[in-house]
């Protein structure tokens, strides 16, 4: 597999997810952020106002494109037209980062295609690694650049797994030249839902095992608290919780600053609140720059 061109991470900037209700604020108000991240599928149209907003945002900020639908862990090849749609957007926007997830989302072909519209868990074993790596490689070849792959918050376990997600992702990166998008909240959610006595210690354990050179971006987010006995849902619908901040500080100490994004997708706050979360990232990053 060919070595892809690396992501242009420039300085380790701070970013926020850009969602429809914030378009005007993002384009008109000052904000101490270097980049915005958008979901690729929200801009797959041929033209129109949404795409114009993205081009305008590109004039103000660096842009990171985060795909959510390729389902790189599918048992068969990702359809070529879907890869081309991502490539067309990447070519038009020239983002600093491009990413998708360590998941599957769909099955079947043609009329039998069933797309779940979600990030579904995959087994971590050599067979899935083979297919996953082949899909990542095809995407990177089409984009002509590196892809970052994000670890998953998963609500089901796959009995066919023979290795940890982290080992799976490390091996995939070694095979393909892809990078990692480390979502700290996803690690935390999985730790909470696995029922361990000390989720933060579990997260720190995962961080300790990460090859920092592979990490191209960090995601931070919050989850809505659930009733006792229910699973914690990674709904990106709240401020970053204290344990995730502490895990992030641990990560900064271990790996140094990396481009970091505040993800907020549901129960959207005001633009000021969102930017306030980005400020907290910047403060913590500053403390570890030396």
Partner 1 sequence: MARESGAPTGQRALLEAIFTGRPAAGHDPRGLAVYRRNLLASAARALSISYPTVTCLLGRDRLGRLAGDFLQSAGRSVFDWGLWGEGFPVWLEEHSLCRQYPYLADSARLDWLMHCAQRAADARPDHASFANMEGLASLDFSLVAAPGCFVLESGFPVVAIHEAHRQDPARPDLGVAAAMLEAGRGQAALVWRQGPRTCLREARDEERIWLQLLNGGAATVAEALRRLPADSMPLEQWLDQAIREQLVIGLSHSSLT
User: Which parts of this chain interact with partner 1 (CB under 8 A)?
Assistant: 41-42, 44-52, 69-70, 74-75, 79, 82, 85, 104-108, 111, 113-118, 120, 122, 154-157, 159, 230-231, 233
Quick one: 231 or 254, whose CB is closer to partner 1?
A: 231
Between 70 and 96, whose beta carbon lies closer to partner 1?
A: 70
Q: How far is the CB of 255 from partner 1 (least distance, A)?
A: 30
The smaller minimum CB distance to partner 1, of residues 224 and 283, is found at: 224
Q: Which is nearer to partner 1, 155 or 245 (CB)?
A: 155
- Pick between residue 180 and residue 232 the one whose CB is nearest to partner 1: 232
Residue 82 C-beta: closest distance to partner 1, Å? 5
Measured from the CB of residue 130, what is the shortest distance to partner 1 in angstroms? 13
Question: How near is the Cβ of 154 to partner 1 at its closest, in Å?
Answer: 8
Residue 77 Cβ, how far from partner 1 at the closest point, in Å?
14
Nearer to partner 1 among residue 129 and residue 281 (C-beta): 129
Hey, what are 207's tokens?
């961080």
Q: How far is the CB of 136 from partner 1 (least distance, A)?
A: 17
């Amino acid at each position: 597999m060919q070595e892809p061109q690396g992501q242009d991470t420039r300085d380790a900037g701070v970013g926020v997810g850009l969602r429809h209700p914030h378009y005007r604020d993002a384009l008109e108000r000052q904000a101490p952020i270097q980049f915005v991240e958008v979901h690729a599928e929200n801009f797959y149209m041929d033209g129109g106002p949404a795409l114009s907003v993205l081009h305008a945002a590109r004039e103000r900020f660096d842009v990171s494109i985060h795909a959510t639908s390729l389902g790189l862990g599918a048992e068969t090849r990702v359809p070529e037209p879907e890869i081309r749609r991502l490539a067309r957007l990447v070519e038009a926007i020239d983002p600093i980062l491009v990413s998708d997830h360590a998941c599957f989302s769909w099955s079947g072909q043609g009329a039998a295609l069933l797309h779940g519209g979600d990030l579904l868990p995959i087994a971590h074993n050599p067979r899935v690694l083979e297919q996953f790596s082949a899909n990542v490689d095809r995407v990177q070849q089409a984009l002509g650049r590196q892809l970052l792959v994000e670890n998953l918050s998963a609500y089901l376990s796959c009995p066919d797994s023979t290795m940890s997600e982290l080992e799976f992702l490390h091996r995939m990166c070694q095979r393909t030249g892809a990078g990692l998008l480390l979502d700290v909240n996803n690690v935390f959610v999985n730790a909470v839902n696995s029922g361990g006595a000390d989720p933060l210690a579990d997260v720190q354990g995962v961080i300790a095992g990460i090859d920092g050179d592979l990490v191209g971006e960090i995601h931070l987010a919050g989850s809505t608290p659930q009733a006792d006995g229910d699973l914690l849902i990674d709904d990106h619908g709240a401020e970053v919780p204290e344990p995730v901040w502490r895990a992030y500080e641990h990560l900064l100490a271990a790996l140094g600053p990396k481009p970091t994004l505040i993800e907020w997708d549901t129960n959207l706050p005001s633009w000021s609140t969102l930017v306030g979360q980005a400020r907290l990232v910047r403060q913590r990053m500053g403390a570890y720059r030396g």
